[in-house]
Amino acid sequence: MVDDDEAVRESLPDLVSVFGYTVSVFASAEAFLASDIPDQTDCLILDLNMPGMGGAGLFRELKRLGKGIPVIFITAHQDEVQRERLLNQGAIDCLYKPFSDTALLAALKTALGES
């Protein structure tokens, strides 16, 4: 999971863990790329709007690197045009904060081929 919001980084991993998944947390796209985690990632929950590279930039960089990691975007900014563009580029989903536990679980299951 990559999100610059500390509150999200503290709460969302607990929820994902309750769903039965292991979570690694990063405060920036750059920190995620600098780690060895991208090669071990089955799904990425990614904040769209962050300082620096940002979520869309990381999404493009992962594609450029040939990493086919399923991505679930999360964002506080409701923009249907941007959401459609991300989905057309291959994102699994783009959830608007605050989103329901059910919506996140459904997106995770889709991303991991469990639904």
H or E stretch covering 71: strand 71-75
Query: Given this model, what pLDDT does residue 91 score?
Result: 98
Residues of the chain predicted below pLDDT 70:
115
Query: Given this model, what pLDDT does residue 97 score?
Result: 93
SS3 21: coil
54 torsion bin: left (phi>0), alpha (psi -120 to 50), beta (else) = left
**6-109 CATH fold:** Rossmann fold (3.40.50)
Domain map (residue ranges) of the chain: 6-109
CB atoms within 10 A of CB 80: 9
Query: Given this model, what pLDDT does residue 18 score?
Result: 97
pTM: 0.96
